[in-house]
A and B are shown apart, each in its own frame.
Chain A
Amino acid sequence: MNTRRSSFVICLILIALVLTGCVGARMGVSWPAVGLIDYNGEQNIALAYNNNVAILSPVNGAPLRLINPLNGRAILDSENNPRNWVLQGSANNGAQFYALPIVLDEETVLVAANSGNLLQVDSVLLEATRSIQLEDKIVANVLVVDDILYVPYQNGGLSARSMEDYREIWRFHTEEGVWTQPLLVGEMLIVASIDHHVYALDRSSGQLIWSLNLGGSVASTPLLANDRLYVGSFNKMFFELSLDGRILSTYSTQNWVWGSPAIDERGVVYVADLSGYVHALDSERNLQEIWSSQIAERGIRSGPVVYQDRVIVASRDGKVYWLDRRDGALINAREIDNRPELLGDMLMLEPSESLDIDAPLLIVTSVDEGRLLIAFELDGRQTWVYPR
């Protein structure tokens, strides 16, 4: 009897192991999107991740209060607490968000959802007033130029839609997804795709001007500097491209390059890769290496930030690193509590009246729901965390 019972228990444990194995393999879609938006005449931080889209104050990271425009008073919820500017996907058919909201006017915000629709939201009452069904899911920011929305799709392609009635003006197909915001260069849209190509499109017609196969997936928006494009790919290469679609120079990295590069006033391009390396390359000398060193234990997904004499990177190892941009020497490193993966892009805020901050602020994004945004001063001191 004991043998039977123990074999039954073993069977149950094995089934549980299978289930654990299955569940363990499940993971989220993407990481938080963070950026600055003009809202109610001020610059604020916008955040989109999983179930929430929030607009936060740069001063302390607190969500903005919903204000009644008629009397200027805070709008209260059913328990008489002030309502915060946090749009929840659970209240909108379980939508998930990985793209920043777009402010249409003082009372309307447009939010692209991963469920494949655009939600037009009344930003006073924070209620979706309209839902526009799209062809596909969205994981990247929508570009807005001259009342036209350029919408990149997770499973492939890009479409131009009128902001007036959301009708499709044109659509360009790619074999795989477009996971990054397109870049506007004059009248040309530069689109990077997971299908290994960088495409240049006529923004008014969607006609292909040129395309270039970079031999690996391209997941970041190219950097435009000195009439050249700088972009990395998953085949461990970093490229300098001309605006007419030629490869001018290449540089071999240690692993995939996912984040967009940064450039300083001397023309030094800083690139990070998914092996935790940071590379400083001379854009004036065909991407000649100035320095290259492994900074982090794990990969660096987001692009580096260059500020004053420093290069700042955030890694999957849960740490933020401040480097001397001249030689890559480590100046400072800060470990985030519980070391969550720092996958989202960083945001550098300079002191300004519209931001209402008097010292530079570095915003780092993690995938930990308990600390999605962490704000640091330039010396590495943590100032606030969202959510608190």
Chain B
Amino acid sequence: MWDLILNPFVTILAWLYAALNQDIVLAIVVLTVIIRFLTYPLLAKQQESSRKMQQIQPQLKKLQEKYKNDKEKLSQAQMKLYKENKVNPVGGCFPMVIQFPILIGLYQAIFFALAATPFQLVDLSERLLIPGLDSLIPLQRMWTPIPQLAGLLPELDLTLAPTENPHYSLILPLLVLVTTWAQQKLTMATTGQKTAKKDDDDDDDGKPAGGQAQMMKSMTTIMPIMFGFFSLSFSVGLSVYFVASNLIGIIQYSPQGRNVLDKLFGKKQTDEAPVEIVLEPDEPVKKPRKRRKKKPRKK
């Protein structure tokens, strides 16, 4: 089942490698750009959903305070608020769930295409879907980052970890860390801060309130460290992918990048104020009536 996603990626990567003068790093970057570009509508949808959720946060907070002793009423009021604002509370997850296998597939495709051992190569034999790519195997795994400085900077083996490569390759995990952090920061700015600043009822620093802000903050710290740490033990080829992917993400999340992409995908920018719901202080919350069977009257 997983091969249905993975094998086309491996094949496209090998095809790009052939088309791009057998430059595997360029092939990885181009494939990453293509995938991130094609999955942009999903990303935009996810961002839109997060933004809307953020916009209605103050009202949600009010409702929580108002109905803190009545969970049923709170739930109904929340549903009404979601409905009025056309927000699906789990709407942001669906695009993310679709994107994830694609990104993991891309990541694994790089791993499998850069086969360096007999076991990896025998596996690759079942993954190339287009005839004629077999003669390219094995893909060139040695890479000179700056050809002009080839004398100073020895070649890197893309299948080995930075710790097994020349020392200067340790800059890659650092780049992964920095670019992941920058992307996370931009993600927060796009979905959280901007909306929160407009709202007077939110925290003073203009950031999303409470646990969610805390969670996002810790994600911004944990994720870059986690990926930077992974990159120390993963192959250099995967670090190249992480950096490329993050840089594209930064472009996608930046306002200029989003404008260009939204125009390309014909998407309108919406920054409407959230619809407020009016609940009377003593508004009775209608309970669905249970139909009772009529009892026969006593005569």
Contact = CB atoms under 8 A, between A and B. Distances in A.
Interface of A: 1, 3-4, 6-8, 10-11, 14-15, 17-18, 21-22, 24-25, 27-31, 139, 154, 176, 179, 194, 196, 215-217, 219, 234-236, 255-256, 258, 274, 298-299, 301, 316, 343
A274 B123 CA distance: 10
Interface string B219-236: 100000010001000100
A179 B234 contact: no
The dominant DSSP class at the A interface is: loop
B152 interface: no
Contacts, number: 88
Nearest to B50: A7
B280 interface: no
Contacts of A28: 117, 119
A366 to B, nearest CB: 13
Interface stretch (B105-113, B168-176, B195-203, B265-273): B105-113
Contacts of B108: 21, 24-25
Contact of B219 (A11, A21, A299, A301): A11
A27 B119 contact: yes
A255 B122 CA distance: 11
B152 to A, nearest CB: 23
B180 to A, nearest CB: 12
A179 B118 contact: yes
A354 B62 CA distance: 88
A30 B21 CA distance: 30
B267 to A, nearest CB: 24
Given A11-B219, A14-B96, A299-B126, A216 B135 contact: yes
A298 B126 contact: yes
Nearest to A8: B215
A18 B100 CA distance: 8
A139 B122 contact: no
B130 interface: no
Contact of A29 (B64, B96, B119, B211): B119
A5 B137 CA distance: 47
Contacts of B134: 216, 234-236, 256
Contacts of B104: 17-18, 21
B3 to A, nearest CB: 12
Interface string B118-150: 111111011000000011011000000000000
A386 to B, nearest CB: 21
Given A18-B104, A301-B122, 20 more contacts: A1-B211, A3-B53, A4-B215, A7-B215, A18-B100, A21-B104, A21-B108, A22-B230, A25-B112, A27-B120, A30-B119, A31-B119, A154-B117, A216-B137, A217-B121, A217-B137, A235-B134, A235-B135, A258-B122, A316-B122
B89 interface: yes
Contacts of B211: 1, 4
Contacts of A343: 119, 122
Nearest to A20: B104
Contacts of B76: none
Interface string B270-295: 00000000000000000000000000
